[in-house]
Amino acid sequence: MTEALLLPLLRDPARLAALSLTHWDGLLRQARASNLIGRLALAAPSSAPAPVQPHLLAARRLVEHQRHAIRWECNHLAEALDGLQLPVVLLKGGAYALADQPAARGRLFGDIDLLVPRTTLGPVEAALMARGWTSGGTEAYDQRYYRQWMHELPPMVNHRRGTVVDVHHNLLPLSARRVPDAERLLADSLPIPGTPFRRLGPCDQVLHCASHLFHEGELRNGLRDLLDLQALLQEHSVQADFWPALEVRARLHGLEWPLLLGLRYSERLLGQKLPSGLQEALQAQCGWSDARLAWMDWLYLGLLQAPLPSAWRLPEHLAAAGLYLRAHALRMPPVLLARHLARKAVLRVFKHSSRGP
């Protein structure tokens, strides 16, 4: 089953009741590949066919288990960082879960992402290492690359529980063309009640979600991230001044174009309602032509709707290659990018040859 079922059925869950077993088989495969099996399980009717029910029940149990697990892990993080007297902002899924935001419903989680002031990276890393987190599996070159150019430390894995923490000091690499104002991100963050953590402000949550989606080199979680974005827009847009504030905030951080694409595809693929003229204003601020937007549509629309990579045709494969190259170009200037890719290629060849025949 290669038909793209997931997106239209998540938009209209009532149609799930009429699916055949063959279509359910394809749908479950697509949902797992997109990390949306939890959301599908919550949307599915109780009348789903008997052979499908165990899959949905397992997904619902996994969602519930992860909801408890992420709170448990955040308690460990709070204990590790207690006493440092610094703001610790939870990003993405961790924030959605602890703040009980709508975007957390049915969402599966991977790493826990934190944002802290750049000047505190040393004490934060030391405190986490003292409690069992380490980034020891990363090669020396990658360690230097992360610490000099990236917006985060190398991933830290807890040797007891296997959980992964990404410690950020910004939302985008320092070598990117435009870097958000990290001080404003921290200063305008909000407390998460009942916890020592904070989360980004409403506009910054939306902008982070959009910038993460459209700076990635592959879209395995692309549809999930787009659904996160829609959930954030629906949650925060009840505030009277949200839309004007979002446009101003995007300009402050230099994130007008990720916001433009996020709004464009939320409207086209998910039916998100937007204020009249907002997309045109963002396009003008970006200086993007209609032809450039059409190029972005070609890159993203097919892949966001594609069922499984194994079912891709030539256009999807070409778009995926284009996104990979584009993501690298966004991360760093051409000279630095060429040097980085050449260095990685040499290291890969040397590592392979050193293994011998």
In a domain? residue 357? no
pTM to 2 decimals? 0.91
In a domain? residue 353? no
In a domain? residue 134? yes
In a domain? residue 78? yes
CA-CA-CA-CA torsion sign (64, 67, 70, 76): negative
User: What contacts 24+ positions apart, CB below 8 Å, involve 132-138?
Assistant: 132/158, 132/159, 132/160, 132/161, 133/80, 133/157, 133/158, 133/159, 133/165, 134/159
In a domain? residue 350? no
DSSP 113: E
In a domain? residue 351? no
- Residue 96: the pLDDT is 98
- Residue 182: the pLDDT is 97
In a domain? residue 325? yes
**Domain enclosing residue 309, as ranges:** 6-343
d(CA 230, CA 145): 33
- Domain of 199, CATH number, reads 3.30.460.40
- Residue 1: the pLDDT is 46
In this structure, the strands spanning 133-134 and 156-158 are: antiparallel
- Residue 350: the pLDDT is 59
**Residue ranges of the chain whose pLDDT lies below 50:** 1, 356-357
- Residue 104: the pLDDT is 96
In a domain? residue 348? no
How many domains does the chain contain in total?
1
